[in-house]
């Protein structure tokens, strides 16, 4: 009989659930976070259970993580995002040593040793600049979808517009001025991505960057931001193999740690 564990990652923007079956990744689920994280967690969990064709009683251990981890009422326990992202990244890419997690409302940088133990970490949770919410805000100002940013970034020669401010409130005025001055949209988007990369790279360098470097979170899907980060960091940013979703890393890590906790408890 398979040993099945689950990780539930309730983030500020999206909520994820993942099953770990024996030593492989099972079904995963992702959806928008809501004002009712308890219900959202339950919905994500029930989706992966249905996909796997199992019942809740078949799952040996469930761990919650993320912004709303304490709201995962059916979990056996909860763990920090740092532990979950570190474990998830290491499982998906064993060579990973630095994880840059760009979430909806904060940015985290985690530096690990070769065995996957966290050596140091840093967070930017005081300002929206350098986060997914910042990109959504400026995309809305430009009247475009956040999913279109990477395509627009790559649609013209690299000539990023200069954006001096990193505050979401003030940069909106700068962006509007650039639009009024008829600066090409691609240049504005490139400049915005450059601004994000400058903020994130500064945090990463303070932590003592160690290769291999990977990015997790929804912003990892924006190739424009990834390209800019590579420029600012001076290193190649790795991607997860087999098309693994960078947004699922926290949930996957929680599911793997749930398995470890269960086996440790069972051996006593």
Chain-centroid distance, C-alpha 34: 17
Other C-beta atoms closer than 10 Å to the C-beta of 104 total 20
pLDDT tens, 115-156? 889 999 998 866 666 788 889 988 999 999 999 999 999 999
**pLDDT class of 49 with cuts at 50, 70, 90:** very high
> What share of the chain in percent tops pLDDT 70?
96
Q: Is the pLDDT of residue 257 over 80?
A: yes
Helical (H) or strand (E) element with 29:
strand 24-32
Average pLDDT score over residue span 7-23: 95
- Looking at residue 134, its pLDDT comes to 86
- Looking at residue 168, its pLDDT comes to 64
Q: SS3 for 94?
A: coil
Q: For strands 4-10 and 118-124, give the pairing.
A: unpaired
**pLDDT class of 169 with cuts at 50, 70, 90:** low
In this structure, CATH architecture of domain 1-93+245-268: 2-Layer Sandwich (3.30)
> What share of the chain in percent tops pLDDT 90?
78
Cis peptide bond N-terminal to 212, omega within 30: yes
Q: Cα(236)–Cα(239) distance, rounded to whole angstroms? A: 10
pTM of the shown model: 0.93
Give me the CATH code for the 95-239 domain, please.
3.30.420.40
Instruction: Name the average pLDDT for the chain.
Output: 92
Tokens of 140: 């809305």
pLDDT tens, 97-118? 999 999 888 899 999 999 889 9
Within this chain, domains 1-93+245-268 and 95-239 share the same CATH topology: yes
Domain boundaries, the chain: 1-93+245-268, 95-239
Q: Is the dihedral of CA 108, 112, 116, 117 positive or negative?
A: negative
Q: Is the pLDDT of residue 62 over 80?
A: yes
């Amino acid at each position: 009989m398979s040993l099945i564990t689950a990780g539930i990652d309730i983030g500020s923007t999206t909520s994820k659930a993942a099953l770990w079956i024996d030593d492989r990744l099972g079904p995963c689920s992702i959806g928008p976070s809501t004002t009712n994280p308890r219900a959202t967690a339950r919905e994500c969990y029930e989706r992966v259970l249905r996909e796997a064709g199992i019942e809740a009683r078949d799952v040996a251990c469930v761990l919650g993580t993320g912004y709303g981890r304490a709201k995962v009422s059916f979990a056996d326990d909860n763990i920090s995002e740092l532990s979950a992202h570190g474990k998830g990244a290491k499982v998906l890419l064993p060579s990973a040593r630095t994880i840059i997690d760009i979430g909806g409302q904060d940015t985290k940088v985690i530096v690990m040793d070769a065995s996957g133990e966290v050596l140091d970490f840093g967070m930017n949770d005081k300002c929206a600049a350098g986060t997914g919410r910042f990109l959504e805000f400026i995309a809305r100002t430009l009247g475009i979808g956040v999913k279109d940013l990477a395509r627009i970034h790559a649609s013209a020669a690299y000539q990023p517009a200069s954006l001096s401010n990193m505050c979401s409130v003030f940069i909106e005025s700068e962006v509007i001025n650039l639009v009024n001055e008829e600066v090409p949209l691609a240049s504005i988007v490139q400049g915005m991505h450059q601004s994000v990369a400058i903020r994130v790279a500064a945090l990463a360098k303070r932590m003592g960057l160690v290769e291999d470097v990977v990015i997790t979170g929804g912003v990892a899907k924006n190739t424009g931001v990834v390209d800019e980060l590579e420029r600012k960091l001076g290193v190649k940013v790795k991607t997860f193999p087999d098309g693994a979703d960078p947004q699922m890393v926290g949930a996957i890590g929680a599911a793997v740690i749930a398995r470890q906790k269960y086996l440790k408890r069972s051996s006593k």
